[in-house]
Amino acid sequence: MRANTVLLLCTAWLLAFANFRAWKLLAALDPGGLPHWLFLLCLGVLLAMTILVLLLPLSFKWAIKPWLVIVLLCAAGAAFFMDDFGAVVDRHTLRSVFETNAREAGEWLSWRMAWKIGATGVLPALLVLWTRIDWQPFPRELWSRAKLALIVVAASAVAIGVGGRGVASSLRNQRELGHVINPMAIASGLYAYVDNARPQAAIVVQPLGRDATRPAAPTGTKPQVLVFIAGESVRAASWGLSGYARQTTPQLARLPVTNFTDVRSCGTDTAVSLPCMFSNLGRKDFSERAALGRENALDVLAHAGVDVAWFDNNTGDKGIARRVHETELQNSTDPAWCSARNCFDGILVDALKKTLAATHDGSVHGDRVIVLHVKGSHGPAYYQRYPKEFEHFTPVCRSNELQTCTPEQIRNAYDNSVLYTDSIIASVIGTLQDDHAIDGAVLFVSDHGESLGENGLYLHGAPYAFAPDVQTRIPMTLWLSDGFRQRNGVAADCLARQAAQPWSHDNIFDFLLGMMHVRSSAYRPQLDPLRQCRA
Ligand SMILES: [Zn+2]
């Protein structure tokens, strides 16, 4: 075959098999007076143009086959996640792909994934490799590619001319489209990702709150221990304390906790939300790079003399705990908590008990903040997030191929994982309560919400601007021991009032500093939910 023929066939293949999501969005657009078929034809031509623009630059001898193979395989992979999970492709989702670990990645593997990517990616890639391309001398190849490019430009111009304003206005109103046009979305997402992730070594961490101090504890007071439980994928809509019709938080419901009912996440994925909630940037000014380039709440706490430790059973600390004690437990093989595939969050309660012993034997002095980064309701394999005895809601989806399960099965498995998180938080509270040598407090904040198939969306990671509420509304629950409450001087009725106010991850930085009585120029009392409640 001639190279142009191969290029056009690949374009047609990608149009037909890698762009279901884009076609679905396009088909729903308002044709603006044009016959629907003509409107779609115009859009199809423009879609084809975006594909050819990617393919043409590397369409010469030696380069064309590897390039087409890469594009076909990547497009098939992206199409699988877009079609089956309602995902979009942007720098955040690509970041999640690049920063995953073997265990997390392993949870995606399925026969459905294998055959879909095999049929739409591997098969055409093999056909490309098998095809003998009839190469002309280079000048003639260049000329024939130039002709193809001219045809593309001309066809696009005609499509825009015919489609006119209808096409333009429809496209402007469809921000999601840019994230699902395949494989262009991968290219633009990759560009944004690389642009954002320039070598981290080049980032100089700016100091923050180096003036932080704390008032001396009155003599005779016990050490304060604040346990901050962060993560994972727990949505307010499925949180019993926040009014979910099902009781998914039976243990917390029996404890004197304060549940904040109107809390928004900073992002829709861990890579954004987690660094964002510890930084003082706030959602509007947040970028991963900016957050890495400055110290965060944990650093300011450490400057003030608080002992800070981070225990992780998820995908790591995203650089937040770099300057404090960090313990990674997600690859542990402790048979009490871990299977070959993952560890239950109970391992974190165990780690907490062990580290509290350091307070008792005197190897850690004074007040502490201990972060537990939980695995929580991490999808798609919700059924692997909890021990068997927490399978309260049945039948459950026992597959990572969520589309093969009924909505009821998915909801059951997810709710069971929330039940387990409820018991983890309650165990942490119980551990602190039983420890009479310390004054404990527990703050639980989810990193983002989750879609369970509503409107064809699964998991999370939708661009914030059009993310559904279930992905951005999160639970936040606080427990204070009597001792902690007294030292903070927190009035109960004020706390209840504040819990009904709207808050977000933007408030966590000052929430943490305030609870630990940090005095610093970095502390912004107006953002601290408890500020008004202190005597
Ligand atoms: Zn997350």
Tens digit of pLDDT at every position of the chain (535 positions): 999 999 999 999 999 999 999 998 888 887 778 888 988 899 899 999 999 999 999 999 889 999 999 999 999 999 999 998 888 898 888 888 888 888 788 888 899 999 999 999 999 999 999 999 999 999 999 999 999 999 999 999 998 888 877 777 667 667 778 889 999 999 999 988 888 777 666 778 999 999 999 998 888 889 999 999 998 999 999 999 999 999 999 999 999 999 999 999 999 999 999 999 999 999 999 988 899 999 999 999 999 999 999 999 998 998 899 999 999 998 898 999 998 888 999 999 999 999 999 888 877 888 999 999 999 999 999 999 999 999 999 999 998 888 889 999 999 999 999 999 999 999 999 999 999 999 999 999 999 999 999 988 899 998 898 899 999 999 999 999 999 998 888 888 999 999 999 999 999 999 999 999 999 999 999 999 999 998 6
Question: Ligand 1 center to residue 202 CA distance, Å?
Answer: 27
Question: Ligand 1 center to residue 232 CA distance, Å?
Answer: 5
Question: Ligand 1 center to residue 181 CA distance, Å?
Answer: 25
Q: Up-side HSE of residue 242: CA atoms within 13 Å toward CB?
A: 22
The residue ranges of every structural domain in the chain are 3-196, 224-484
User: What is the distance between the alpha carbons of residues 427 and 424, in angstroms, rounded to a whole number?
Assistant: 5
pLDDT score recorded for residue 200: 63
Question: Ligand 1 center to residue 339 CA distance, Å?
Answer: 21
For 481-519, letters b (16+ CB in 10 Å) and e give: bebbbebbebeeeebeebbeeebbbbbbbbbbbbbbbbe
User: What is the distance between the alpha carbons of residues 261 and 239, in angstroms, rounded to a whole number?
Assistant: 10
Question: Ligand 1 center to residue 3 CA distance, Å?
Answer: 44
User: What is the distance between the alpha carbons of residues 207 and 274, in angstroms, rounded to a whole number?
Assistant: 19
Question: Ligand 1 center to residue 305 CA distance, Å?
Answer: 29
| Tokens, residue 149 | 């490019």
3-state SS of 312-354 is ECCCCCCCCCCCCEEEECCCCCCCCCECCCCECCHHHHHHHHH
Question: Ligand 1 center to residue 483 CA distance, Å?
Answer: 32
Contacts 24+ apart (CB under 8 A), 450-454: 450/233, 450/234, 450/235, 450/238, 450/377, 450/379, 450/414, 451/86, 452/238, 452/407, 452/410, 452/411, 452/414, 453/402, 453/407, 453/410
- The model carries a pTM of 0.84
Phi, psi for 377 (deg, rounded to 5): -110, 40
pLDDT score recorded for residue 173: 65
Question: Ligand 1 center to residue 108 CA distance, Å?
Answer: 16
pLDDT score recorded for residue 470: 97
Question: Ligand 1 center to residue 85 CA distance, Å?
Answer: 16
pLDDT score recorded for residue 95: 85
| Tokens, residue 435 | 């420890």
Q: Up-side HSE of residue 81: CA atoms within 13 Å toward CB?
A: 27
For 38-74, letters b (16+ CB in 10 Å) and e give: ebbebbbbbbbbbbbebbbeebeeeebbebbbebbbb
DSSP character string of 97-159? HHT--HHHHHTT--HHHHHHHIIIIIHHHHHHHHSPP-PPPHHHHHHHHHHHHHHHHHHHHHH
Question: Ligand 1 center to residue 25 CA distance, Å?
Answer: 27
Question: Ligand 1 center to residue 269 CA distance, Å?
Answer: 5
Q: Please, which residues have CB less than 5 A from ligand 1, an ion?
A: 232, 270, 447
Structural contact between residues 51 and 183, judged by C-beta atoms closer than 8 angstroms: yes
Structural contact between residues 424 and 349, judged by C-beta atoms closer than 8 angstroms: yes
Q: 388: which residues sit within 8 A by CB, 6+ positions away?
A: none
Question: Ligand 1 center to residue 314 CA distance, Å?
Answer: 9
Question: Ligand 1 center to residue 268 CA distance, Å?
Answer: 8
CATH class for domain 224-484? Answer: alpha beta
Question: Ligand 1 center to residue 233 CA distance, Å?
Answer: 5
Cis peptide before 380 (omega within 30 of 0): yes
Question: Ligand 1 center to residue 446 CA distance, Å?
Answer: 8
Question: Ligand 1 center to residue 222 CA distance, Å?
Answer: 34
Question: Ligand 1 center to residue 501 CA distance, Å?
Answer: 24
pLDDT score recorded for residue 201: 62
Question: Ligand 1 center to residue 187 CA distance, Å?
Answer: 24
Question: Ligand 1 center to residue 447 CA distance, Å?
Answer: 5
Question: Ligand 1 center to residue 234 CA distance, Å?
Answer: 9
Question: Ligand 1 center to residue 375 CA distance, Å?
Answer: 8
| Tokens, residue 114 | 């294998």
Question: Ligand 1 center to residue 315 CA distance, Å?
Answer: 9
